[in-house]
A = this chain, B = another copy of it.
Amino acid sequence: MNQISDLFAEAERGNTVDKADYEAELSELRMELLNLQYDLNRRDFSVVLLIVGDDLPGVVASLRVLHEWMDGRYIQNHVMFDTPGEKFEEQPLVKRYWRRLPPDGSIGLFLGAWPYLLLGTAFDEDWSDEELDRGLDDVSRFEKLLVDDGTLLLKYWLHLPKKKLKNRVAAAERNPQKYWDYAQYDWKFLKRYDDRFDLVERLMGRTNTPSTPWRIIESADPRYRNLALGNHIASALQKRLYSDSAQTVASNAVSKIAQSDESAMDDIDLGASVDEDTYRKKLPKLQARLNRLSHRAHKAGVHCVFLFEGVDAAGKGGAIRRLASALPVQHTRVIPIAAPSETELARHYLWRFWTRLPDSGKTVIFDRSWYGRVLVERVEELAQVHEWSRAYEEINEFEASLHDSNFVVCKFWLQIDTDTQLSRFEARAQTPYKKYKLTDEDYRNRKKWAQHQAAAEEMIALTSTSHAPWTLVAANDKRHARLQVLSTVVERLDAQLRILDAADSKQHRKGKKKRSG
């Protein structure tokens, strides 16, 4: 008997609570929960409360009970027992949960959600071991990311022994008037209880870590279940609110930064330039080519994320305009990234990017991006060392998820030298309608040129991956930079479409073989 089975066995003891004890304990528990909620409300972390289990009506009942006990203004419900419209190959599995993450100071109550989705889909679609492992990887990375960021993650599995579950469904069948809450549910879990248990054990085995533990709660007696759940939530909140455990987690998470002697920046030939005539000829050709490719990409459901980083006045805006104007406007969004809003600050720094990823067949261009975490936030000390040093790995994993879901990710670093920057600042100051682009901050940033460059070099060294490489663009000459951006996107899109075509024709040949076989 392994550890997980032990946990389940413990939740089959037949615990009950009688009515008088229940009501006596409840009054105090409710008050405690409310007070904890109000204290939480003033703090800078959020609670993700995940409730799932084999006792689905119990799961639903627990939502109602928690709402009766607590202040509904600070709990957001996310009842997620449905299967998603899109496939995992099209969008990362965890995207839908990112959107729903609660802001700091509040509780996001998830029913079903990622464990339910994994179990359901793996079982229904008869996943291979590799597919299941990938799903479990995604989910455990997601949980780790939340916990590293300070989120209090509480995961409950409500357990009803198989026999009890059968009895209840039978009772509901005989008397649906009385037991209507057990009469209408989708009883997949019951029908294939044993077959499914293997999968539950694998899920638990993979996602039951010291920082993201599961609690299995005996669900047979509603009063026992309610109290066990409520008491556990209260004590976990208590511990987190009034102890320093978060800080401990955070400092443990400091990762080491690789030191590199080589600098990718040195390889950029800042003297590269393109003359006006060549530019006038090449630009419309590249744009026309890109336009055709992007229409094909849209039809093929290819989604693209293009991001631009670089010092002020590197020419990001101009390059983005030439790129965007060649893409179908109805499928393209340009998103300028400035300082995060209050809503954004109350969540993980990746939240505002996860929630703005393009749907299938669409393109999003980020004018500055998640790399702000390891650039400006690092240099200006807006993020703590353990936060930005952890970010390289988080970002690589984020981009790996995008790659796994067939996103085309192009990352452009536009490099100029400090003289070019100065002369562009001066030109802006001279052009009335460009003055607004120039602020005191720009001059302040210039003074930290070396720090900004060092941060950029480290970023490029640590986040250039095969699936999401950086393209370093020599941008002293704007024409050269714009053409390089356009031709890179053309190449990447073309390559992706070739891969899809090849996969299609392989499938097609397979189909033919089968039919002829």
A residues whose Cβ falls under 8 Å from a Cβ of B: 27, 30-31, 34, 38, 60, 63-64, 67-69, 71-73, 77, 79-82, 111, 176-178, 180-181, 184, 284-285, 287-288, 291-292, 295, 321, 324-325, 328-330, 333-334, 336, 338, 343, 431-433, 436
Contact of A64 among B180, B291, B325, B336 (CB under 8 A): B325
| Contact A177/B79 with A73-B336, A73-B338 known, Cβ cut-off 8 Å | no
Residue in B67, B69, B82, B325 whose beta carbon sits within 8 Å of that of A433 in the complex: B69
Question: Are A184 and B333 neighbours in the complex by a CB distance under 8 Å?
Answer: no
Complex contacts, A287 vs chain B, CB 8 Å: 180
Contact of A291 among B73, B180, B324 (CB under 8 A): B180
- The reply to whether B330 and A82 contact each other, CB–CB distance below 8 Å, is yes
For A329, the chain B residues whose CB sits under 8 A away are 60, 63-64, 79, 111
Is there contact, CB below 8 Å, between A178 and B82?
Answer: no
| B residues in contact with A292, CB < 8 Å | 180, 184
List B contacts of A31 (CB < 8 A). Answer: 432-433
Pick 7 A–B contacts, CB within 8 A, sort by A: A34-B433, A64-B329, A73-B336, A111-B329, A180-B287, A180-B288, A184-B291
Cβ contact within 8 Å between B72 and A334 = yes
Provide the bound-state CA to CA distance between A472 and B1, in Å.
61
Chain B nearest Cβ from A139, distance in angstroms: 21
Complex: A176 Cα to B181 Cα, angstroms: 63
Measured in the bound complex, the distance between the Cα atoms of B79 and A63 in whole Å is 39
The reply to whether A64 and B321 form a contact with Cβ atoms under 8 Å apart is: yes
Residues of B with C-beta under 8 A to A180 = 284, 287-288, 291-292
| Complex contact A321–B284 (CB within 8 A) | no
Number of copies: 2
Check B82–A184 contact: CB distance below 8 A: no
A176–B336 touching, CB < 8 Å: no
If A27-B432, A72-B336, A433-B27 touch, does A79 touch B34 (CB 8 Å cutoff)? Answer: no
Q: A68 to B334, alpha carbons, bound, how many Å?
A: 12
User: With a CB–CB cut-off of 8 A, which chain B residues contact A67?
Assistant: 321, 334
Whole-angstrom distance between the Cβ of A114 and the nearest chain B Cβ: 16
Contact between A321 and B68, CB atoms less than 8 A apart? yes
Q: Taking CB as reference atom, which chain B residue is nearest A179?
A: B288
By the criterion CB–CB under 8 Å, are A177 and B285 in contact? yes
Question: For the complex, what is the distance from the CA of A60 to the CA of B321, rounded to whole Å?
Answer: 13
Known: A60-B329, A184-B295. A178 touches B284 (CB 8 A): yes
Nearest residue in B to A331 (C-beta to C-beta)?
A: B79
Docked Cα-Cα span, A73 to B335, in Å, equals 9
Q: Give the CA-CA distance A197 to B60 in the complex, in Å.
A: 55
- Shortest A317–chain B CB gap in Å is 9
Cα separation A231 to B467 with both chains bound (whole Å): 47
- In the complex, the answer to whether A436 meets B34 with C-beta atoms within 8 Å is yes
Smallest Cβ-Cβ distance to A29: which chain B residue: B433
> Chain B's nearest CB lies how many Å from the CB of A96?
14
Q: Chain B residues near A328: list those with CB within 8 A.
A: 184
Chain B residues near A436 (CB, 8 Å)? 34, 38, 71
| A77 and B69 alpha carbons, distance in the complex (Å) | 43
Which one of A69, A79, A431 has the greatest number of beta carbons of chain B within 10 Å? A79
Q: Which residue of the partner chain B has the closest CB to A63?
A: B329
Chain B residue numbers with a CB within 8 Å of A330 are 79-82
Least distance between A251 CB and chain B CB atoms (Å): 35
- Contact at A77–B333, with CB atoms within 8 Å? yes
Contacts of A324 in B (CB 8 A): 64
Complexed CA–CA distance, A111 and B181 (Å):
48
Extra contacts, 5 of them, besides A64-B329, A177-B284, A180-B291 (Cβ < 8 A), are A27-B432, A64-B325, A73-B336, A73-B338, A180-B284
What's the nearest-Cβ distance from chain B to residue A507, in Å?
A: 28
Nearest Cβ in chain B — how far from A180, in angstroms? 4
Question: Top 8 nearest A-B pairs by Cβ distance?
Answer: A30-B433, A180-B288, A31-B433, A31-B432, A79-B330, A60-B329, A177-B288, A180-B291
Q: Complex formed: what's the CA distance from A336 to B333 in Å? A: 33
How many angstroms from the CA of A206 to the CA of B72 in the assembled complex? 45
- Alpha-carbon separation in the docked complex, A486 to B284 (Å): 66
| Complexed CA–CA distance, A463 and B68 (Å) | 32
> Which residue of the partner chain B has the closest CB to A69?
B433
How far is the CB of A187 from the nearest CB of chain B, in Å?
Answer: 15
Shortest beta-carbon distance from A62 to chain B in Å = 11
Minimum C-beta distance from A178 to chain B (A): 7
